């Protein structure tokens, strides 16, 4: 059954990818395939990175409703951009190269998350829940600071901030894509190597100890890997809050297995299908200019409400 479902997932990704590359194509095929190929690669990469990070986060928190965005990543990203534009102005911000901005956001986001994880998971495994609660509080704090600073900046600078603080799946630089692919690929390799260890960490806090595993050390390592994946995807295309929840919910429904060797590849495939298929439908079939992030956030929000209401009534 699993092989058949993986076959259909791979086939679905191939079909939507071919349609994305060829549907409505005009002019030179070499230019069209190169231009659309970059967008295709970015969609698959981002979908896989966010989906993997969400699955890992739900594994160590033992909760299928929580996502990395609960830690305030999205709000921290917008706060960093807001402070940069406020301090340097729109003209100073524009002088940075795209690679420089990407690396600055990546380093700041990763360092902030690693610092938070190191402090909260230093002594007790119960600190994991404190980390989640702290993430909620910090997210609210970051959003409040963003709103306060936005009231102080010039209207023209505010328009620049608005244009860069929303997810943009159709505008990815080739150099940034290459750097992101290398970082995500290395992170995926580490995750795949520890996939059996993830199965043990998913058992809780007590059982891994009886099996000879150190849950605190494993949680810290997984959280660092999560921070890299989320930081790369956020710095590359912007904040996306509910994509991971949407994909993880579909993955658990379609793949009846608790082995991460099955769940993680399926999540990557479903994440790619979701973004590539959604962008293809919006651009090639419906001919709409609506950002894909708006549609994904709407569907993900509905899934989140459904899970909350279902769990509350259970």
Structural contact between residues 238 and 214, judged by C-beta atoms closer than 8 angstroms: no
Within 10 Å of residue 96's Cβ, how many Cβ atoms?
A: 14
Q: Rounded CA gap, 142 and 76, in Å? A: 6
The full 3-state SS of 55-92, as one line of letters, equals: HHHHHHHCCCCCCHHHHCHHHHHHHHHHHHHHHHHHHH
236: part of which helix (H) or strand (E)?
Answer: helix 215-237
Domain boundaries, the chain: 2-9+42-313
CA-closest candidate to residue 138, choices 117, 167, 107, 162: 117
Two tokens, residue 86: 């406020």
Task: Enter the pTM of the model.
Answer: 0.83
- In this predicted structure, what is the pLDDT of residue 131? 65
Q: Digits of tens for pLDDT over the chain (314 positions)?
A: 788 888 999 999 999 898 888 887 777 777 778 878 888 888 899 889 999 999 998 888 777 777 877 667 777 777 877 888 888 777 777 777 777 777 777 787 778 777 766 665 555 445 556 666 777 787 788 888 888 888 888 777 777 776 666 666 666 667 778 888 999 999 999 999 988 888 887 776 666 666 666 666 777 788 888 888 887 887 777 777 778 888 888 898 888 888 899 999 999 999 999 888 888 887 777 776 666 767 777 777 677 677 666 654 44
Residue with tokens 């100073």: 92
CA-closest candidate to residue 103, choices 162, 182, 160: 182
Structural contact between residues 80 and 105, judged by C-beta atoms closer than 8 angstroms: yes
- In this predicted structure, what is the pLDDT of residue 177? 83
**DSSP structure class, residue 282:** I
CA-closest candidate to residue 202, choices 59, 66, 61, 53: 59
Residue with tokens 């997932």: 9
CA dihedral 92, 98, 100, 105 (to 10 degrees): 90
Structural contact between residues 296 and 274, judged by C-beta atoms closer than 8 angstroms: yes
**DSSP structure class, residue 69:** G
Taking only the tens place, the pLDDT of each residue in 57-79 is 888 877 777 787 766 777 777 78
Q: Provide Rg for the chain, Cα atoms.
A: 20
- In this predicted structure, what is the pLDDT of residue 117? 62
Phi-psi region of 204 (alpha: psi -120 to 50; beta: other; left: phi over 0): left
- In this predicted structure, what is the pLDDT of residue 202? 79
Contacts of 207 (CB under 8 A, 6+ apart): 200
Q: Rounded CA gap, 188 and 221, in Å? A: 13
CA 128 from centre of chain: 20
Buried b vs exposed e over 200-222: b needs ≥16 C-beta within 10 Å? bbbbeeeebeeeeeebbebbbbb
Two tokens, residue 190: 């580490």
- In this predicted structure, what is the pLDDT of residue 314? 47
Residue with tokens 């009886």: 210
The topology (CATH level 3) of 2-9+42-313 is: ABC transporter involved in vitamin B12 uptake, BtuC (1.10.3470)
- In this predicted structure, what is the pLDDT of residue 124? 47
Q: Rounded CA gap, 218 and 231, in Å? A: 20
CA-closest candidate to residue 290, choices 277, 281, 299: 281
Two tokens, residue 87: 């301090």
């Amino acid at each position: 059954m699993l092989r058949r479902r993986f076959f259909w997932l791979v086939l679905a990704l191939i079909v939507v990818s071919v349609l994305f590359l060829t549907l409505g194509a005009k002019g030179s095929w070499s230019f069209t395939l190169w231009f659309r190929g970059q967008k295709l690669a970015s969609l698959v990469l981002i979908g896989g990175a966010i989906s993997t990070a969400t699955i890992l986060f739900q594994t160590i928190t033992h909760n299928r409703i929580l996502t990395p965005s609960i830690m305030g990543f999205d709000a921290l990203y917008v706060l960093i951009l807001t402070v940069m534009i406020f301090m340097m102005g729109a003209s100073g911000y524009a002088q940075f190269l795209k690679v420089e901005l990407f690396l600055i956001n990546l380093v700041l986001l990763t360092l902030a998350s690693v610092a938070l994880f190191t402090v909260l998971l230093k002594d007790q495994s119960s600190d994991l829940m404190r980390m989640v609660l702290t993430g909620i509080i910090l997210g609210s704090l970051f959003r409040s600071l963003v709103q306060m600073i936005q009231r102080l900046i010039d209207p023209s600078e505010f328009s620049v901030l608005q244009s860069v603080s929303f997810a943009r799946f159709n505008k990815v630089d080739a150099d940034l894509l290459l750097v992101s692919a290398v970082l995500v690929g290395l992170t995926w390799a580490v995750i795949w190597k520890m996939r059996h260890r993830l199965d043990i960490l998913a058992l809780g806090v007590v059982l891994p100890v009886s099996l000879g595993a150190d849950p605190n050390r494993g949680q810290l390592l997984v959280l660092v890997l999560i921070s890299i994946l989320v930081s790369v995807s956020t710095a590359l295309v912007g904040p996306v809050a509910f994509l991971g929840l949407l994909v993880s919910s579909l993955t658990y429904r379609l793949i009846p297995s608790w082995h991460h060797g099955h769940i993680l590849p399926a999540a990557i495939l479903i994440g790619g299908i979701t973004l590539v298929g959604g962008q293809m439908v919006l651009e090639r079939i419906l001919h709409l200019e609506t950002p894909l992030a708006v549609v994904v956030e709407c569907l993900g929000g509905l899934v989140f409400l459904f899970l909350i209401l279902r769990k509350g009534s259970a």
